[in-house]
Amino acid sequence: MVAGGEDQSGPSCRAGASLVSQDSSVLMFGGQEDDNKKMNDVWKFDINAKCWSKVDIDSDSFCPVARSGHSAVMFGSKMYIFGGIFELTHELNDLCCFDFETNQFRKIGEDDCTVDDGTADMGQG
């Protein structure tokens, strides 16, 4: 995979991004550029076509904090993103979900939990 940089044919060069796979695509979220700028964008790499495309996020969607060093996992058509680093002294402890069918982020937390122990059923929704 080659990052596009300034010509916008792909994501900027970065570290600390998360990559997950789905079918014949690799999906990337966040990371940080060389100047320590944290990102919260989503990119898709088509393995067959060998090209990047930026995923357009629905304008009504929740917007997660830009971050690097986080974890991500795919479950169905959804990418679940946990934690990461916003700044050196500001570690994140949140969970959000990006749905590739609706192109929307959703925060998962206290308001979304249905049980008292603070867990959410990631198979629902």
**DSSP-based three-state secondary structure for 110:** helix
Is 119 contained in some domain?
no
Is 123 contained in some domain?
no
Q: Hey, what are 29's tokens?
A: 């979220």
Is 118 contained in some domain?
no
Tens digit of pLDDT for each residue in 63-106?
999 999 999 999 999 999 999 999 888 899 999 999 999 999 99
Q: For the chain, give the percent of residues with pLDDT over 70.
A: 81
Number of structural domains (the chain) is 1
Distances in Å between the alpha carbon of 109 and those of 33, 54, 117, 122?
28, 27, 11, 11
Which domain range does residue 40 map to?
Answer: 5-112
Place of tokens 């940089």: 5
Give the global pTM: 0.79
Say how many C-beta atoms besides its own lie within 10 A of residue 106's C-beta. Answer: 18
Look up the CATH number of the domain holding residue 38.
Answer: 2.120.10.80
